[in-house]
Amino acid sequence: MPAFVLLTKFSAPALREAVADPSALHYVREALESFEAKVLVDFRLVGEYDHCTIFEAPDEFHAYQACLVNEIGDCDDTRIMPAIDLQLFESLITKEGGTVGPHEWQVSTWAKALRFAFRWHGYSRWVWQACKPLHVSGRENFREVKGPCIVVGNHTSHLDGLVLRHALPQRVKWNIYSGAAADRWFIKGRKELIMQPWYQSLVMATFPIQRGGGSRALDYPKWLLSKGASVLIFPEGTRSTSRRLAKFKHGPSILAIESGVSVVPCYLYGLNKLRPKGSREVTPGPAWAHFLPPLRFDRSTAVPEATYAIFNALNAVHERAMAEGPSAFS
Amino acid sequence: MATYIMLSTLTDEGRKTLKERPERLHEVNKEVESMGARVTGQYAVLGGYDFVNVIEAPTNEVMARIAMELGARGTIKVTTLPAMPVAQFVDMMQGKSPGGS
């Protein structure tokens, strides 16, 4: 999600209210969170401004909407500043700045053959190093899937995409693609091999997603499905740190209904212990990838209904796994 | 360690330096650390300022020195605001932590 910095100067009545009831100072946080924003950190300041809040919001509309409510309420002055990922900023100010992709050549036969040859370098080596061992079950569910499909998984670790791709049957692995943040993985002019956009498109089979890009983010996955390629999506949108699955986004449902393809859920377990969110360290240990029976939706299915069905399928396994551990599904 | 929000704006010279040597962004962080403070958050922003930095420093004196050293180069203008987490401030106002009435 894009980040924003909000500087606030409170009005005199708001300051009087805060003196009478200091908890009223949490108002800015509550106002932002009521508009789906996530406050990363907030500070009380001494000086030109009274309050500094750094938060993430789904898009600029939500951010400004939240700040508007805030401004009308208790503040003399608010200054909201969209914040840019520093890596992107650094690359933007060089001559090579900007993002590239998607690369449609990634679905051509030569690209698939090279990807197969590079599979150890791309993902398998990381899986072998981290997962001791990796238990894969439910692959037989792909027998019912003819043609392209959408594979969805729960998301708790950076290892999820690598493990899920490694666990897929070769037939699906041969031609499946996943989205990756454009402003991190598809920046021109990066020095490291794995950060090169061509490497991402060719070896990792990813395509760029512009954060906050809305429904346009589905254009390329739709094109992939129309070309007979499968798509891998984590419908929670970001890595979850809670014991519960996060709210699912509607992207997989829209794609499944419009393209008429099956959705194969995959429950990943144990990976958050191997590399939790926020950690760069990998602690080797057991991990599980369990594929569930495919779900199919006809064109008359409502998108929320399809999203609910996908969520329920994964959540049923998740709740059992939380109660009983991996024996619940393996 | 105390927390400070440093709002900084690039001067014309600063823009030129950053365009030619973008790696200066990281070098400045190392210099701040060598003066005894730590950059815990850093954002490039659009609007009235160019960067918002969250810095932890042991004392006002150390922070004042950093602001002076950075400003003296002529590449940025800085506004430094002492900060404390809102939850901590609310506790203090309610008399649950030192500094409260």
Which of A83, A108, A137 lies at the terminal end of a domain, its last residue?
A83
Minimal C-alpha gap between B1 and chain A (Å): 15
A259 has a pLDDT exceeding 80: yes
Domain boundary among the residues A25, A60, A83 is at: A83
Does residue A52 share a domain with residue A9? yes
pLDDT, residue B97, reads 67
Residue range B15-68, pLDDT digits in tens? 888 877 777 887 888 888 888 899 888 888 988 899 999 999 999 889 999 888
Cβ of A46 within 8 Å of Cβ of B83? The answer is yes
Chain B interface residues (partner A, CB cutoff 8 A): 3, 5, 7, 18-19, 22-23, 25, 41-49, 52, 54, 79-87, 89-90, 93-94
Write the CA distances from A310 to A16, A259, A330, integer angstroms. Answer: 49, 16, 20
Q: Which chain A residues are closer than 8 Å to B95 by Cβ?
A: none
Q: What is the CA radius of gyration of chain A?
A: 22
Would you call A81 and B42 a contact, using CB atoms and an 8 Å cutoff? Answer: no
- pLDDT tier at A57 (50, 70, 90 boundaries)? confident
Q: What is the pLDDT of residue A266?
A: 95
DSSP code at position A95: T
Identify whether A68 is part of a domain.
yes
Nearest to A289 by CA among A166, A190, A195, A205: A166
List CB contacts (< 8 A) between B93 and chain A: 18-19, 22, 25
Instruction: Clarify whether residues A21 and A149 are in a common domain.
Output: no
Does A78 lie in the same domain as A123? no
Q: How far apart are CA B47 and CA A84, in angstroms?
A: 12
pLDDT at A326 over 70: yes
**A70 pLDDT more than 50:** yes
Report CA-CA distances (Å) from B26 to A29, A202, B18, B32, B33: 30, 31, 11, 10, 11
Model confidence at A98: pLDDT above 80: no
**Nearest-angstrom CA–CA distance, A187 and A100:** 6
- What is the structure's pLDDT at B92? 85
CB within 8 Å: A44 and B85: yes
Residue B86 in contact with residue A42, Cβ under 8 Å? yes
Query: Does the pLDDT value for residue A191 go beyond 90?
Result: no
* Residue A143: pLDDT band with limits 50, 70, 90: very high
pLDDT of residue B80: 92
Average pLDDT, chain A: 86
Percentage of chain A beyond pLDDT 70 is: 91
Gap from A4 CA to chain B (nearest CA, Å): 8
The pLDDT score that the predictor gives to residue A217 is: 84
pLDDT of residue A110 exceeding 60, the answer is: yes
- For chain A, how many structural domains are there in total? 2
Q: How confident is residue A199, by pLDDT bands cut at 50, 70 and 90?
A: very high
Average pLDDT of the segment spanning A78-101 = 73
Mean pLDDT calculated for residue range A247-271: 93
Query: Which DSSP helix (H) or strand (E) runs through A35?
Result: none
Q: Is A69 exposed, middle or buried (0-12, 13-18, 19+ CB in 10 A)?
A: middle
pLDDT at A301: 93
A238 and A154 within one domain: yes
- A214, part of any domain: no
What is the pLDDT confidence band of residue B100, given thresholds at 50, 70 and 90? very low
Q: Does A217 map to a domain?
A: no
The CA distance from A154 to A186, in Å, is 24
Chosen CATH of B2-93 out of 3.30.70.60, 3.40.50.300, 3.40.50.620, 3.40.50.2020? 3.30.70.60
Percent of chain A residues past pLDDT 90, beyond the cut: 42
Q: Answer yes or no: do A25 and B85 touch at CB < 8 A.
A: no
Q: How many CB atoms lie within 10 A of CB A47?
A: 13
> What is the rounded average pLDDT of the residues A111-115?
94
Give the domain extent around A36. 3-83
pLDDT at A111: 95
State which of A31, A56, A83 marks the end of a domain: A83
Q: Are residues A157 and A259 located together in one domain of the fold?
A: yes
Q: In what order do the strands lie in the sheet with A176-181?
A: A131-137, A285-291, A262-269, A149-153, A230-233, A176-181, A206-209
